[in-house]
Amino acid sequence: MTRRSRLRTKDNKSRRLKKVLAVVFVTGLIAWVCFSYRQQLQTLAEVWRETAPVAESAEETVRGTIYDRNFKELAYTMERVSLYARPREVTDLSGTVGTLSELLGIPETECLTSLSKDSHMVWLLRDLGQEDEDRIRDAALPGIYLHREQVRTYPGQSVGAHIVGYAENDVGLAGVEHFYNTPLTHSSVRQEDFPRIDFKGEGATAGSGHDLVLTVDLKIENVLDQYLQKMGKSMAGAQIAAVLMEADTGKIVGGANYPSYNPNGIWQYEKGVLEDLLFTPMVVPDELREVFMEASLLQGVWEQSTQVYPWSVVNGTVSYPRQLRLWERLQLTTPDQVDVTAGERQDMSVPEFTSCQPVRDVGTVPRVLSPLKVLLGFTQLVNGGKRIQPHFLDRILVQPSQKEYHYNAFRLNSDGMSVLPALVSEELQKSVYLSGVRGLLGSVSISGETVSWMKRKGGDQEYVRDRISLTLIPAEKPELVLLLAARQKLLGPQRVDDSKPGYLSAAIDSVLPSMVALQQVHSNFAGLLEVEERKDSNFQAGQKSKVDRGKTLAGMLDEEIHLMPDLTGMSLRQGLRLLEKSDLKIRVEGSGRIVAQKPKVGKLLEKGSRCLLVLKKDSDPQDIVPVQHMQK
């Protein structure tokens, strides 16, 4: 038995050794094949990388259009067509160069330089118009191809940008573009995903493509934007926001932020500019907190005696449980439910605030709120006690049937349509009218400001001045409520002057008449508005809207983001011409044609950065010259 066991052990060792040798042999064989054919494999990989992304795109769902309430386009998708070549497939070089120069106006020298490169693919021209595209297609030139991509365009540029938001690669990233990304991109939308939209008993929409009609008016947004720009010039480094909302419905008819951004070139802005001040926690001024306090006291008097006495004779007894219930009904202590997604914010947590002035005792009224919550709560106090929900969407249009699905904030909770009795609301209106600043069209404004030491969760600390102003238009039975909010960073604590009027709303009379007139015109003619037909055309950077597109088409040929082009084989003059808009510090070594460069092809060029071009004469060997590391 012992001898058999030893023989079996020897056989097992022999088998394991053979397996190991076989594995080593196969691995070595694969390594030898890869080493022998590495150049061919690299070439195939290069061909795949360069050719795969530029095939003509197949039919795809076009992202829906976003309109304002007057059917003026706020965001739509256009097709960008660009021209590229595969030089190895060009059969008649001189004929192709001549045809392209004649059809598109490309200089023959530049075209010849591009098509003479030993490359699998070269870009020739971007943003072809429809006529140029038709000419190229009819010419049917071997080795010349068209590339298509969908480009999101925002004709209003910075106006209303924080509301509309922006999208990249057909994905909404902020604003309405993000919140309603599903309806904008899908052929069907389910009721359960958007409970506040009335689907008329249907489980889902039917049709191909959805457009959105918003409650905002582009003309009113322009008025607010110009007002904030003037205000911003007098408030160094301030962030300012404005919102105009219908008091009875919660429809937001206008909104603006300062500073704003152009969503056509979102890549060039810092996060602070993308921050929406409407969602940023701010210290609520005592002038506004006292209005909420009055509401809770008047509500208590009404509950005890079923009537409301004049404010001057109301007992100031505080009931904290009653106050807390009121704040919840006013949605001051509940999460934001507005149908727009805020852009980048510095800190998602609520900062700590230390007041730099005495704080008045106003019970349990929240001290830190977002401006949007202040607008919502204040409006519900003075609009007759009606419960409302701020929203930007008016309805969804389904193409091609033009079927409409309207936004209904209280479709699921129609029984809770009030937050406090109408008598209490009327008494509050009188109180605001007496304590506020009166303006045109029977309006009245109540404003305040605070100076605080703000400490964020991440450790950042600074002094800030927060200002909030609310205007009722008109004060008696308000139809519109205007919110103005501002934050200004300070170098140190400052004293608040309680005697001066609200700084934000001091010049509001200059824009109120125009906004009210636009609101009245829309109310009278809303039923007559229809979508205007827009002639289909290719995206072109030089169009009337002066849109500056971002990094698309794999970052090639962009006017704003400058990437290092392939200058190999070009003359120095041609190379400098391509780099002239990049504002680089260029150093040249040698003479002749460019044979090496630094930075590498495709690298992002920063303003003022260094660039090295190595040249050799045509008679010299054309091997690429190794570039030594440049001194920083």
Residue 241 has pLDDT above 90, yes or no: yes
pLDDT reported for residue 431: 86
Whether the pLDDT of residue 143 is over 90: the answer is: no
What are the φ/ψ torsions at residue 407 (nearest 5 degrees)?
Answer: -75, 130
Mean pLDDT across the stretch 65-82?
A: 89
Q: What pLDDT sits at residue 545?
A: 36
Residue type, 12: N
Q: Which residue has the tokens 């919102």?
A: 243
pLDDT confidence bin for 6, thresholds 50/70/90 = very low
For 10-14, 122-126, 316-320, 385-389, which range has the lowest pLDDT when averaged over its residues?
10-14
Most confident of 104-113, 196-205, 280-289, 537-546: 280-289
**Average confidence score pLDDT of the chain:** 78
Please enumerate, as own/partner, the contacts of 50-55 that have beta carbons within 8 Å and a separation of 24 or more: 50/119, 50/120, 50/121, 51/86, 51/120, 51/121, 53/554, 54/84, 54/121, 54/145, 54/147
DSSP string, 311-361: GGG------HHHHHHHHHHTTSSS----SSB----S-SSPPEEEESSPPP-
267 three-state secondary structure: helix
454-474 pLDDT, tens digit each:
888 777 888 999 999 999 999
CA angle 151, 156, 158 (to 5 degrees): 100
- For residue 55, the model assigns a pLDDT of 40
Q: Is the pLDDT of residue 8 over 70?
A: no
Predicted local confidence at residue 552, as pLDDT: 32
Comparing CA positions, the residue from 224, 219, 257 lying closest to residue 511 is 224
How many Å is the Cα radius of gyration of the chain? Answer: 33
Highest mean pLDDT among 145-154, 347-356, 368-377: 368-377
The pLDDT score that the predictor gives to residue 215 is: 94
| 394 φ/ψ sector (left φ>0, alpha ψ -120 to 50, else beta) | alpha
pTM for the whole structure: 0.71
Give me the mean pLDDT over the 367-379 stretch: 94
Q: What's the distance, CA 374 to chain centroid?
A: 24
- Please write the tens of the pLDDT for every residue from 529-574: 666 666 566 555 544 333 333 333 233 333 344 667 778 877 888 7
Q: What is the pLDDT of residue 38?
A: 53
The structure tokens 């044979």 sit at: 595
Cβ neighbours for 508, distance < 8 A, ≥ 6 positions apart: 227, 439, 443, 445, 469, 471, 482, 484
Q: How far apart are CA 260 and CA 312, in angstroms?
A: 44
Strand 403-406 to strand 368-369: parallel, antiparallel, or no bridges (unpaired)?
unpaired
Average pLDDT of the segment spanning 167-176? 87
pLDDT of residue 338: 87
pLDDT class for 207, splitting at 50, 70, 90?
Answer: confident
In the structure, what pLDDT confidence band is assigned to residue 44 with cuts at 50, 70 and 90? very low
Q: Which of 102-106, 219-223, 507-511 has the lowest mean pLDDT?
A: 102-106
Stretch 564-593: mean pLDDT, rounded?
A: 81
pLDDT in tens, 251-298: 999 999 999 999 988 888 877 788 889 999 999 999 999 999 888 888
Q: Which of 178-182, 228-232, 241-245, 475-479 has the highest mean pLDDT?
A: 241-245
Confidence band for 497, pLDDT divided at 50, 70 and 90: low
pLDDT at position 413 over 60: no
Cβ proximity of 277 and 369 under 8 Å: no
Alpha-carbon distance 526 to 226, whole Å?
25
Residue 13 has pLDDT above 70, yes or no: no
Q: Comparing 100-104, 276-280, 363-367, 535-539, which segment has the lowest mean pLDDT?
A: 535-539
Non-local (6+) Cβ contacts of 271 within 8 A are 344, 345, 346
Residue 411 pLDDT class (50, 70, 90 cuts):
low
**Torsional class of 555: left (φ above 0), alpha (ψ -120 to 50), beta (otherwise):** left
SS3 content of the chain, % helix, strand, coil (to 5): 35, 25, 40
End-to-end CA distance of the chain: 78
